[in-house]
Chain A
Amino acid sequence: MSPLARYLLKRFVDRFILLFVATVLVFVLVKVVGTIFYGDDPFIVYLRLQSLQFGEASEETQRVIKQLIRQFGLDEPLFPNQFVKYLVSLYTLNFGYSFTNRRPVWLEFSERIPNTFFLSTYAFLLIVAMGLSLGWFMASRRGRRADDVAMGVSIFSYVMPGYLMTLIFLILLAYLPRVWWGLAIFPMPPYTPPRLPTVNIPLLNISIPYPTLQYIQYLTLPAVAVAVAGFGAFAYYIRQLTMSELGQDYIVTARAKGLSDQVIMRRHVFRNVLPPFVTALTLSIPGLFGGVGIVTEILIAFDGMGYYLFRSIQAQDFPVVVGATFFYSILTTAALYFVDIAVALTDPRVRLQGR
């Protein structure tokens, strides 16, 4: 097995363990702690509440409740029976039925997952592009006026969280142009993106939505706002990395060989700066995909998973909460795994040793 394949497999196992830990944690929080706090399984509490409108005391209602409890296996011990059932149904994307509108949770999700996925990916790609370019710009102009200005911008961007930047962008770019000049450049909340066309994959027989230009335009404001608020830390990090690289001995050697500054920066420094930068992306993913992204979605009333999760939290809709948390765990771990692949591509040590 080549070192690269071994590395990727090892990382895959790592990330899968992460996903597994997340699901176990959700089980503990909802089932075990929830049972302690609510005095009963949340699902049974919901059943009792629902049965009130039919008269709880009646024999029929009691019989139906009992039958449902048996049907969903709620009378079995939590571990291992219910736990295994929970794991199997989660990993087969069977999230049960929503408490609030009684549709299958998966149906609710399938309408919203593309929106969240494309928004987070859009923002993430923008962050990487902007962070890389501005950090590089600062490092190559260090000590000059442009560096100072860019440094101020990056500190501002680092301080501002994405959701606040979205609020400010909404006011400045969506609301005020409408009021002052009657220009509807960007949509105002609630954000309900246009429906996506789907492409059918022949052999697997599943249809996958793909974004259109109109759709991307619709997402531009929140994505750019989150990116503008997120790239600063990376720009600063790249600048610091470059500064410390420039103090290394091999730079002196390269200079002694008579290489021009540009060549040194591009051929030597950049190669060494890229791997730690990509690794640093790893740490920002949970906060971006599972933090700022959700708050932004809620604030602009975006028709995505984050807003749906928030509303179901308010409605105490447990199946949806569990399913959405699982979705966010998958989104985070998948993004982490893609960054792992990027690390493997940028860092030759991984390819050679399978670090």
Chain B
Amino acid sequence: MGVSSYGRYRRQLLVESIHHFWSRLRRNRKGLTGLFLLGVVLALAVAGPLTTPFDPDRDTLLADPVVPPEWAAILPGYAGLPPNIQFRVDPGDWKIASPASQRLRVESSGSLQLLYQGDGVKRSESVELSYAFTYDYRPPRAMTLKLPVTYVTDSPYNLVKQEGIRVRLSINITRGADGRSFILHDSRLLRPFNGTVNINTQDQRLLQANGFSLLDNLAEKIFEKPGAYTIRLRVLLDDLGGTGNPRASMAVGSAEVRIRGRTFGLLGTDYLGRDVWTLFVYGARPALLAGVMVGLGVVGLGMVIGLISGYRGGFTDRSLMFMGDTMTLLPTLPMILLGILIFGRNIWVSLAIVIIFGAGYAGVARQLRAWVLSIKERPFVESARAIGCSDTRIMFRYVLPQTAPFLLYAFVLAIPNGIFLVFALEILGLGDPKVPSWGRTLGEAWNGGAILANAWWWLTPPLIGVFMTALAFILIGYALDEIVNPRLRTR
């Protein structure tokens, strides 16, 4: 038999055994459920990040911190909570309330231009722009307004207060329900405004300017009642008169108004206002990675030790088995914590320590050893030895492939162990802080008072994710157990 035809024969055997395996797995209900769950997790890991435009760590304050998902608004407790409301007020949208005098002209081509031409007479002029909108939700916690305003005063004595033009900009918001008005900005009270006016209702000075205590929330006070609201932008020009021909112009760009939502996205936000759905989706990769790494480590270590100790026997066997048993029977977490204390919080270090102390490679080694003990008495091992193969070659080329089904089973069942150990470390804050893992999210939720905030949207996704992943591997493992272990097949 030539080499190529032998190779073809082996390949055919492999294909046949895979086919046989698949047809058995297909009839197993547990195995199919496991495969389906694994498919879901894999889909999350591969395509999940495509479903979200956000970065799990950098995009903070997407909405208010710890707010429920948008669809929760149909539930009774969350009815009427506002989503993110964001609109632009373009220059053409402003309604010019008080007509300008001849000295003060308003041009609205492209951007809004206020032009003033003085003639040396002392006077004040004002113009008021207003924009009306409706707000039909429960009060929000924060509102921001961004308004690009630039002004140029062409007065000859700009810095001298006795002469020239003083410009004052004030922005108010008026509630339609009872006509009450709140200060959002006043250039004389708050700060000079040339450039962009950034208004945030969480600003303490705004609270004080409106006469509230620092414990109040301005946005809640403003939007207490649903209904119509009007933003009023008032420009006051004080021409102090004097020599020269003072001129002033002011350009108002598009205003960005944002009322930070109290519901957000598919799964709400966490304590930094990050999207929980994004965190959930990005968590699948590190979980799978940790599980597969630990599984590979455990099976690899167990494979080498079991193979050597089963094949060699004698003193090697006994010492290796004793070492493995001792390592497994040591208390798991103190050893891991000690390793982390010495080596620091590094994902690879904790994976290595978990593999050595926590995930039970000794069990794999012991079971593999039992297999090898029976396999090494078979005729093909003897014939291999007769033609002069080295021990290493016999072990890894002839004995090892025979144990492949068992190794697969052990690998699959080692994965959930690894996932949960790494998950525990992450919950305790001993994982890698840069990786948006499910354990980190759950730990933050638990320590960040998600329970007291009733934040089920923050607490449950990592739980469901890790549970689903582990369940997938355990179900597949049980199915493999029934297929590989023929003793249980006959009921």
List residues of A whose CB falls within 8 A of some B CB: 17-18, 21-22, 25-26, 29-30, 33-34, 37, 142-143, 155, 158-161, 163-164, 167-168, 170-171, 175, 240, 243-244, 247, 282-283, 285-287, 289-291, 294-295, 298-299, 306, 309-310, 313, 316, 321, 324-325, 328-329, 331-333, 336
Contact = CB atoms under 8 A, between A and B. Distances in A.
Nearest to A287: B332
Interface string B395-417: 00000000000000000000010
- Complex A-B, nearest 9 residue pairs according to Cβ-Cβ distance, in ascending order: A290-B331, A328-B331, A291-B332, A325-B334, A294-B333, A161-B420, A328-B334, A295-B424, A332-B331
A247 B490 contact: yes
8 contacts: A142-B491, A159-B474, A287-B332, A321-B337, A325-B334, A325-B338, A329-B331, A332-B330
A30 B341 CA distance: 9
B463 A164 contact: yes
Interface in B330-354: 330-335, 337-343
B358 interface: yes
B343 A313 contact: no
Contacts of A309: 334, 337
B320 interface: no
Contacts of A33: 342-343
Contacts of B340: 313
Contact of B333 (A155, A164, A168, A290): A290
Given A25-B335, A294-B334, A286 B427 contact: no
A286 B331 contact: yes
Interface centre among A30, A33, A290 (most CB of B within 10 A): A290
Nearest to B419: A161
B21 interface: no
A295 B428 CA distance: 8
Nearest to B341: A313
Contacts of B341: 313, 316, 321
B474 A286 contact: no
Sorting the interface of chain B by its residue count into under 10, 10 to 19, 20 to 34 or 35 or more gives 35 or more
A291 B474 contact: no
A25 B474 contact: no
A159 B471 contact: yes
B487 A30 contact: no
Contacts of A34: 342
B329 interface: yes
Contact of A291 (B333, B342, B343): B333
A286 B359 CA distance: 11
Nearest to B463: A164
Interface in B470-491: 470-471, 474-475, 478, 487-488, 490-491
Given A21-B326, A244-B487, A286 B332 contact: yes
Contacts of B424: 161, 163, 291, 295
B329 A332 contact: yes
Nearest to A32: B342
A175 B455 CA distance: 13
B446 interface: yes
Interface of A is mostly: helix
Contacts of B283: none
B328 A310 contact: no
A190 to B, nearest CB: 12
A291 B332 CA distance: 5
Contacts of A316: 341
Contacts of B337: 309-310, 313, 321
B289 interface: no
Given A29-B342, A325-B338, A143 B326 contact: no
Interface centre among B333, B339, B416 (most CB of A within 10 A): B333
Interface in B76-91: none
Contact of A155 (B332, B363, B466, B478): B478
A163 B451 CA distance: 16
A295 B420 CA distance: 11
A294 B427 CA distance: 12
A171 B334 contact: no
B360 interface: yes
A324 B487 CA distance: 44
A167 B446 contact: yes
B22 interface: no
Contacts of B470: 159
B342 A37 contact: yes
A22 B331 CA distance: 9
A329 B330 contact: yes
B234 to A, nearest CB: 48
Interface in B53-94: none
Given A159-B467, A163-B424, A299-B446, A240 B488 contact: yes
Interface centre among B329, B478, B487, B490 (most CB of A within 10 A): B329
Contact of A283 (B328, B335, B421, B423): B328
B428 A331 contact: no
A283 B331 CA distance: 11
A143 B329 contact: no
Nearest to A328: B331
B463 to A, nearest CB: 6
Contacts of A18: 326, 329-330
Contacts of A306: 333
Given A34-B342, A158-B474, A299 B330 contact: no
Nearest to A294: B333
A290 B357 CA distance: 11
A316 to B, nearest CB: 7
